[in-house]
Structure formats: C-alpha cells, structure tokens
Amino acid sequence: MNKFILYLFGFLLLAQANALACNFKISNFGDPKENVKLEGPQPISMPDQFGGESLLFPMIDVCKNDKSFDGTMLIYLYIKNKLSRIQLYRANMQDTNLMDFAMSKYGKFNLPEGLPKLMWRGSYQWEVGNDNIEYIFTNIHDGHAEIIDITSKLYANTMADYNEKVGEWLDSQQ
C-alpha cells in the first residue's frame, strides 16, 4: 500500500512539473493570426514585402513563470495568413538558455570538448513529428544571438518560396 501511495505521489509530481513547463506554441501551423489570443499586451504586427507578416511578442508574455526566457522574443511568421514558422530569438544575453532549453526539449547534441558553451557557434537540427527544429548560435553586429527556428514539413514548400523571395531581395542589395 505504501509503495502505491509513493508511486501515485511521484506520478502527480511529474504531471505537475509538465503542467508548469512553458508551451510557446499557442497556435498551430496553418492557423490564421486571428487565433492568437493573449492576455495583456497584444503582439506587434510587422508585414513584409515578401508576402509574410510577423507577430512579435516577448516570450515572458506567454511563459510568465519561466524567468529563463527573459529577453527572448517570440516571432510567429504568417504567410497567406497561415502560421508557417515559429522563432525564439535571444540576442546578447550572457547565458545559453535557449541552447539548454532546446537540448532538454528536443535532445542533446555534442559540443567541442573544452570549448565553453558561450563561445560555440553553429547550428543543430532535429525532426520531431511533422516539425523541423533548428537551433542556431551565431554572431551578429555587436554580439551574438541564439535562435530556435521551428517549421512544419506540411508548409515546407510555402517556406521555400518565401525564403527564395527573401534571398532574391538580399542578392539584389549587393
């Protein structure tokens, strides 16, 4: 009987820990932007010249109880009013919170031995169900940025067309 109570208590503790975990996916791929409902400040909408519209909001607005996301921007890209990409963007912070989050949520990957995590630059990709997830740690002007980029295999062609338009524009700017 005591073992049963101990197992039940352990299960409830694990269930509670999962309930407290941050779920930044507040809309499903393919859903319109009107489905995003937040309490408090509403996301900033930024249409672009390539047929996309990004909704930007601080991650802390979605994950209020997780201070490790302070300074992280959540960016939902809508193409033809369908959610096509989710990005978590964190620039110039003196930690690797997004790397730690990605490794705990999607799986660990090896880093060069002896190199501090803050000095590593590169990317790693996972496939989880219909989602492609890429973690990126890169240099930017005046610092570095961590990015988690999530796209759906179901919208891969839409993202490829969008990225081609962006690439053509970038090439024309040289």
166-170 long-range CB contacts below 8 Å, 24 or more apart? Answer: 166/50, 169/49, 169/50
List the chain domain ranges: 2-172
Tens digit of each residue's pLDDT (9 = 90 or more) over 98-143? 999 999 999 999 999 999 999 999 999 999 999 999 999 999 988 9
Q: Are 68 and 101 in contact (CB under 8 A)?
A: yes
Residue found under tokens 């990409």: 85
pTM of the complete model beyond 0.85: no
Q: Which amino acid is at 57?
A: F
Q: What is the three-class DSSP state of 32?
A: coil
Tens digit of each residue's pLDDT (9 = 90 or more) over 17-40? 433 468 888 899 999 999 888 777
Sheet with 72-79: strands ordered across: 44-47, 52-58, 72-79, 82-91, 143-152, 131-140, 122-128
Token pair listed for 45: 């909408």
Q: What is the three-class DSSP state of 112?
A: coil
Give pLDDT, residue 80.
94
